[in-house]
């Protein structure tokens, strides 16, 4: 068995934080007189905080000064932080730990590749930080997904060539980033949304140990 690099996205793969992002963005948008729907929230998956705010202002046909833009980013994040401080292990998505432990037992490289600047505090809250050998998050990249930077940095951190890395992602932008990095992309979610991925599973409970083993060869 070779040592491959397994790179996990955070939001939507390890934990379902999309609901908290939704609440915080919705309150912010509504305070600006902009409507914000669940469908629009879908389009913000994997998208950085700055790009998400740009999209929301765009949808509302609104422009703000650079100062106001910064204030809005802080306002959104403060509300989001209120939700995530209440998180614990019960919010880890099913079978995530089983998969991480199986990979660790088989000496595989494990990294996080997330767009979130809050990735480390979230991993601490859910007690999974120690399982990751390398963390690449929104604080360590310049270009957001679909740019491959986040995953290439993770491969570098694991010292595994990109072609020997496997990415688990729930967003279209993230799958595109993994493909652009020349990695195996595994979509976690709906086939009709994540059709650009090499493989798609509804969630980790559908992913067998045999499949994981086949990825290590
Ligand atoms: P933050 P991921 C992404 O995380 C989320 O999917 C996306 O909705 C969010 O806007 C982005 O992180 C930035 O998050 O405001 O915490 O820095 O899916 O790449 O783990
Ligand atoms: Mg995600």
Beta strands (DSSP E) in the chain are: 5-8, 109-113, 134-136, 165-169, 184-188, 199-201
Tokens standing for 14?
């390890």
> Which of 10, 41, 46 has most ligand 1 atoms within 8 Å of CB, for mutation?
46
Helix axes 49-59, 18-31, angle to 10 degrees: 40
Question: What is the CATH number that goes with domain 5-16+90-216?
Answer: 3.40.50.1000
The per-residue pLDDT for 97 is: 98
Instruction: Name the CATH code of domain 18-84 (choices 1.10.150.240, 3.40.190.10, 2.40.37.10, 1.10.10.10).
Output: 1.10.150.240
9 is catalytic: yes
Instruction: Check if the beta carbon of residue 11 is closer than 8 Å to that of residue 30.
Output: no
Q: Nearest to residue 164, comparing CAs of 99, 104, 109?
A: 109
The per-residue pLDDT for 1 is: 73
Query: pLDDT tens track of the chain, all 217 residues?
Result: 789 999 999 999 999 999 999 999 999 999 999 999 999 998 999 999 999 999 999 999 999 999 999 999 999 999 999 999 999 999 999 999 999 999 999 999 999 999 999 999 999 999 999 999 999 999 999 999 999 999 999 999 999 999 999 999 999 999 999 999 999 999 999 999 999 999 999 999 999 999 999 999 8
What is the value of pTM for the model shown? 0.95
Tokens standing for 72?
């809005």
In the structure, ligand 2 is a single-atom ion and the residues with CB under 5 Å from it are 9, 11-12, 46, 170-171
The per-residue pLDDT for 217 is: 87
137 is catalytic: no
For the CA of 14, the nearest atom of ligand 1: 20
Of the CA atoms within 13 Å of residue 128, those in its CB half-sphere come to: 30
Antiparallel, parallel or unpaired: β 199-201 and 109-113: unpaired
Between the CA of 104 and the centroid of ligand 1 the distance, in Å, is 25
Between the CA of 66 and the centroid of ligand 2 the distance, in Å, is 27
Distance in angstroms (rounded) separating the CA atoms of residues 180 and 64: 33
Grouping H, G, I as helix, E, B as strand and the rest as coil, residue 167 is: strand
The per-residue pLDDT for 64 is: 97
The per-residue pLDDT for 168 is: 98
Instruction: Check if the beta carbon of residue 83 is closer than 8 Å to that of residue 106.
Output: no
Between the CA of 80 and the centroid of ligand 1 the distance, in Å, is 11
Parse the chain into domains and list their residue ranges.
5-16+90-216, 18-84
Q: Find the residues whose C-beta lies inside 6 A of ligand 1.
A: 9-12, 21, 44-49, 52, 77, 114-118, 138, 171
Q: Which tens digit of pLDDT belongs to each residue from 46-67?
A: 999 999 999 999 999 999 999 9
- The per-residue DSSP string of 6-34 comes to EEE-SBTTTB--HHHHHHHHHHHHHHTT-
Sign for the pseudo-dihedral over CA of 161, 184, 177, 14:
negative
> Which of 72, 74, 114, 149 has most ligand 1 atoms within 8 Å of CB, for mutation?
114
Tell me which residue has its CA closest to atom 16 in ligand 1.
116
**Cβ atoms within 10 Å of 97's Cβ, excluding its own:** 17
Distance in angstroms (rounded) separating the CA atoms of residues 217 and 211: 10
């Amino acid at each position: 068995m070779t040592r491959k690099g397994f790179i996990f996205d955070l939001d939507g793969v390890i934990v379902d934080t999309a609901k908290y992002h939704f609440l915080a963005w919705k309150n912010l948008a509504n305070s600006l007189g902009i409507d914000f729907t669940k469908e629009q929230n879908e389009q913000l998956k994997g998208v950085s905080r700055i790009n998400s705010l740009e999209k929301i202002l765009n949808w509302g046909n609104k422009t703000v000064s650079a100062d106001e833009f910064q204030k809005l980013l802080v306002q959104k994040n403060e509300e989001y932080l209120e939700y995530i401080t209440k998180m614990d292990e019960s919010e880890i998505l099913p079978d995530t730990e089983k998969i991480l432990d199986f990979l660790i037992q088989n000496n595989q490289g494990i990294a996080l590749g997330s767009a979130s600047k809050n990735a480390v505090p979230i991993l601490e809250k859910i007690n999974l930080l120690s399982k990751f050998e390398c963390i690449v998050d929104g604080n360590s990249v310049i270009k957001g997904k679909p740019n491959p930077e986040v995953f290439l940095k993770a491969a570098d951190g694991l010292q595994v060539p990109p072609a020997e890395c496997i990415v688990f992602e729930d967003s279209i932008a993230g799958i595109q980033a993994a493909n652009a990095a020349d990695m195996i992309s595994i979509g976690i979610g709906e086939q009709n949304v994540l059709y650009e991925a090499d493989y798609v599973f509804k969630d980790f409970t559908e992913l067998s140990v045999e499949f994981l083993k086949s990825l290590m060869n």
